[in-house]
Amino acid sequence: MKLELTHFSAAVLFGVFASIVFGITQRNNFQEQVRYGLYCFAMFVGGVFVAGWVMSLLRR
């Protein structure tokens, strides 16, 4: 089986899995875990967009 993801989808999926683990392991109660997981995911996706724009600007 060969899986071909785009750079964006690979980065977003990476963020999903990492956020799940960070959320569960770095906080103690359920609400904090959900909140921290969502925060990490937002940071991952935000970082992807920022990096994308930076690379786009450097390319010009």
Residue indicated by tokens 């450097």: 58
Judged by CB under 8 A, the residue of 12, 20, 45, 48 near another protein is: 20
Whole-angstrom Cα distance, residue 30 to residue 47?
Answer: 25
Least distance to another protein, CB of residue 25, Å: 4
31 binds another protein (CB under 8 A): no
Least distance to another protein, CB of residue 11, Å: 8
Least distance to another protein, CB of residue 12, Å: 12
